A and B are shown apart, each in its own frame.
Chain A
Amino acid sequence: MTETVAPEVAPGLDAKVLLEAYRIMRTIRGFEDRVHDEFATGEIPGFVHLYAGEEASAAGVIMHLDERDSIASTHRGHGHCIARGVDVKTMMAEIFGKRTGVCHGKGGSMHIADLSKGMLGANGIVGGGPPLICGTALAAKLKGAGGVGVAFFGDGASNQGTTLEALNLAAVWDLPAIFVAENNGYAETTSSSWSVAADNIADRAGGFGMPGVIVDGFDFFAVHEAAGEAISRARAGGGPTLIEVKLTRYYGHFEGDQQTYRGDEVARAKESLDCLKRFRAGVTDSGQLSDAQLDQVDSEVAALIEEAVVEAKAASKPTEADLLTDVYVSY
């Protein structure tokens, strides 16, 4: 049942889509690299889990989605938010714990959400998202407009009962749901080669009677193609799919993690696998985009991130009056 999708450079994507893909991935990378630097200064409260290195997964999947659709994310959720169009400035403000944040400083990095954009939130609970996506997919199915739900989860969550229950329920209810397992090799420090009993997370799809696909998560085009196929099938009433995206996170589990459990895979990945490098090489070699166009995106993204940080730092913290609001709609 499990198949591996072979990468194919820029299959039928026009320059506008390619530029948008690059902008999303570059924005995620720029955002995460900057949060890494800012966290080191001590100005960001709490914990952050960075998505750098995994950009092709968020971009490759979420670019297929529109306003009918919804996603649920993970601890490592900034990338999914950015790809889904959550405002970068209010995200940064949220991470700095400011009142101007997208969740008014009450959520933080692990709970950034924007339901108006069908983004059900990063999630502080491993395996929290897949059941929720069964519900959003059910709502989409009952509405009948072809909407889908996408649950991103990690290799750690692939062993949670919630995830396995959700896979079964999605198949039983024949839901337009896509389950994207982002296997970055480690749940905190614990290797997925040890913690996942199957050879691949995608191998489990057969047990739920749904297609399972393995994708190279450094290859935007491979992710985009596999996700496109699964999402089209779901929109057409063909039911759920499990996609395993194999990739590497460039930073530790959270900021401050010394990563002594890892070898030199990050250095190797950055050198030879990096999704942004490969994307740039692919689209410039094929003549679809020029280096100048991509450099222009780089500078625009850098300016946006700089503005986001400056504004976040200048913004006010929530006040005592905010402590008690928004527990209920009415009480």
Chain B
Amino acid sequence: MARTISYREAINEALAQEMERDASVIVMGEDNAGGASVGSPGEEDAWGGVLGVTKGLYGRFPGRVLDTPISESAFIGAAIGAATRGLRPVVELMFIDFMGVCFDQIFNQAAKFRYMFGGNALTPVVIRTMYGAGLRAAAQHSQALYPVFTHIPGLKVVTPSSPYDAKGLLIAAIRDDDPVIFCEHKALYDITGDVPEESYAIPFGEANVVREGSDVTIVAIGRMVSVALQAAEDVAGSGIEAEVIDPRTTSPLDEDTILESVEHTGRLVVVDEATPRCNLATDISALVAQKAFGALRAPIEMVSAPHTPVPFSDALEDLYVPNPQRIVNAVKAVTEWKR
């Protein structure tokens, strides 16, 4: 039965249900309980992660929620090593920006084991990480770095845009036998939506057509899905029906759903919070230009962050993040384009 819960609660519920189902699932990360370390005089499970996502798991699953020192290389690597020995760790990289201090373990170790060892490796690890701008957290805590992971063969990359997707995609990630980077947008934790109580898995590589329309295809990633939906409602008033597609996973990418939509609409706008060189917008644009060129009735438009670090000031950050108006402008550009 579905209830209305938050994105944060949906992730917590997915973790709890999978830990209940499978004793090999463990959770680890900085302050994932918080205050649980030996000798702390205060409350155990004080935080449940920096934004409270894992709160309550420590008490329910004794010995299976591990706090870590601030040593991302060591504990991300430990999660990867444990995954090769029969556990299914879900490890939290607090901010995606911190990939800089542990990337070797992710892309040279976890991502490559299976291929490099001739197919004789299983590394079922999930790295949950928080990304994105919007909380005035500035340049080192706000990036949308999922394209970097998407670039790496051997990793799967998930960008849930709603509470329903967050739960179903995380359950799929935990059950998956490959390393998965699970990217949670920090501005989405408090959004709410209908989520079934029972366990369910959403398969990777199957895009969600969030809104149907025949005039233009808008592909949006992660938090940009809701921004694109707002833009779609705005242009509907002018008689333009936009189809909004959420790929759900950037690797694997559901190419077919995107291509079929563009074959139908003849126009494409891609919305990506990542910086504009070698991001998902350029990648999907290239895909469509190559495989659906004949269907295009206008040049593709890309709406991305500018090629700058994420600024601190609210005045600047609001300019940095793609907004509905920029998407509306892009939709108008493709629908009004004339040769």
A293 interfacial by beta-carbon distance below 8 Å: no
Q: Do A107 and B66 have beta carbons less than 8 Å apart?
A: no
Q: Do B114 and A327 have beta carbons less than 8 Å apart?
A: yes
Q: Do A116 and B120 have beta carbons less than 8 Å apart?
A: yes
- Least CB distance from B72 to A in Å reads 8
Q: Do B109 and A328 have beta carbons less than 8 Å apart?
A: no
Can you report 20 residue pairs joining A to B where beta carbons are below 8 Å apart?
Answer: A72-B81, A104-B118, A115-B113, A115-B120, A115-B121, A134-B78, A135-B77, A135-B80, A135-B81, A138-B78, A138-B82, A142-B63, A162-B74, A165-B69, A166-B73, A168-B71, A169-B68, A169-B69, A169-B71, A326-B115
- Least CB distance from B68 to A in Å reads 7
A157 interfacial by beta-carbon distance below 8 Å: no
Nearest-neighbor residue (CB-CB) of B86 within chain A? A139
**Which residues of chain B (72-123) have a CB below 8 Å from chain A?**
73-87, 89, 104-105, 108-109, 112-122
* Interchain CB contact (< 8 A) of A331 among B75, B84, B205: B205
A125 interfacial by beta-carbon distance below 8 Å: yes
Docked Cα-Cα span, A131 to B76, in Å, equals 8
Q: Do B154 and A136 have beta carbons less than 8 Å apart?
A: no
Q: Do A132 and B78 have beta carbons less than 8 Å apart?
A: yes
* Interchain CB contact (< 8 A) of B117 among A115, A136, A140, A325: A115
> For B84, what are the chain A residues with a Cβ–Cβ distance below 8 Å?
70, 115, 120, 132, 135-136
* Interchain CB contact (< 8 A) of A169 among B74, B118, B252: B74
> For A238, what are the chain B residues with a Cβ–Cβ distance below 8 Å?
none
Docked Cα-Cα span, A131 to B117, in Å, equals 19
B177 interfacial by beta-carbon distance below 8 Å: yes
**Which residues of chain B (228-260) have a CB below 8 Å from chain A?**
252
Nearest-neighbor residue (CB-CB) of A172 within chain B? B69
A106 interfacial by beta-carbon distance below 8 Å: yes
> For A70, what are the chain B residues with a Cβ–Cβ distance below 8 Å?
81, 84-85
5 further contact pairs, Cβ within 8 A, besides A137-B81, A162-B73: A105-B118, A107-B116, A128-B109, A326-B119, A331-B252
- Least CB distance from A91 to B in Å reads 12
Of the listed residues B68, B71, B114, the one surrounded by the most CB atoms of chain A closer than 10 A to its CB is B71
Q: Do B108 and A328 have beta carbons less than 8 Å apart?
A: no
Interface residues on A, range: 35 or more
Docked Cα-Cα span, A114 to B113, in Å, equals 11
* Interchain CB contact (< 8 A) of A114 among B81, B87, B120: B120
- Least CB distance from A179 to B in Å reads 12
Contact with B along A142-165 (1 / 0, CB 8 A): 110000010000000000011001
Q: Do A166 and B74 have beta carbons less than 8 Å apart?
A: yes
B178 interfacial by beta-carbon distance below 8 Å: yes
Q: Do A328 and B114 have beta carbons less than 8 Å apart?
A: yes
Nearest-neighbor residue (CB-CB) of A174 within chain B? B38
Q: Do A133 and B81 have beta carbons less than 8 Å apart?
A: yes
Q: Do A165 and B117 have beta carbons less than 8 Å apart?
A: no
B27 interfacial by beta-carbon distance below 8 Å: no
- Least CB distance from A104 to B in Å reads 3
Docked Cα-Cα span, A115 to B84, in Å, equals 8
Docked Cα-Cα span, A331 to B86, in Å, equals 21
Q: Do A162 and B77 have beta carbons less than 8 Å apart?
A: yes
> For B81, what are the chain A residues with a Cβ–Cβ distance below 8 Å?
70, 72, 120, 131-139, 149
B153 interfacial by beta-carbon distance below 8 Å: yes
Q: Do B116 and A103 have beta carbons less than 8 Å apart?
A: yes
Docked Cα-Cα span, A130 to B83, in Å, equals 15
> For A134, what are the chain B residues with a Cβ–Cβ distance below 8 Å?
74-75, 77-78, 81
B274 interfacial by beta-carbon distance below 8 Å: no
A85 interfacial by beta-carbon distance below 8 Å: no
Q: Do B118 and A330 have beta carbons less than 8 Å apart?
A: no
> For A104, what are the chain B residues with a Cβ–Cβ distance below 8 Å?
118-119
Q: Which 6 A-B pairs have CB atoms at the shortest separation, nearest pair first?
A: A131-B77, A135-B81, A104-B118, A132-B81, A326-B119, A165-B74
Docked Cα-Cα span, A143 to B109, in Å, equals 23
Q: Do B85 and A165 have beta carbons less than 8 Å apart?
A: no
Nearest-neighbor residue (CB-CB) of A68 within chain B? B85
> For A135, what are the chain B residues with a Cβ–Cβ distance below 8 Å?
77-85, 87, 89
Of the listed residues B26, B117, B178, the one surrounded by the most CB atoms of chain A closer than 10 A to its CB is B117
> For A168, what are the chain B residues with a Cβ–Cβ distance below 8 Å?
69, 71, 74
Q: Evaluate whether A131 and B82 lie within 8 angstroms (CB atoms) in the complex, with A125-B104, A327-B114 already known.
A: no
A121 interfacial by beta-carbon distance below 8 Å: yes
Q: Do B118 and A328 have beta carbons less than 8 Å apart?
A: no
Nearest-neighbor residue (CB-CB) of B64 within chain A? A142
Of the listed residues A70, A128, A132, the one surrounded by the most CB atoms of chain B closer than 10 A to its CB is A132
Docked Cα-Cα span, A33 to B141, in Å, equals 51
> For B252, what are the chain A residues with a Cβ–Cβ distance below 8 Å?
331
> For A114, what are the chain B residues with a Cβ–Cβ distance below 8 Å?
117, 120
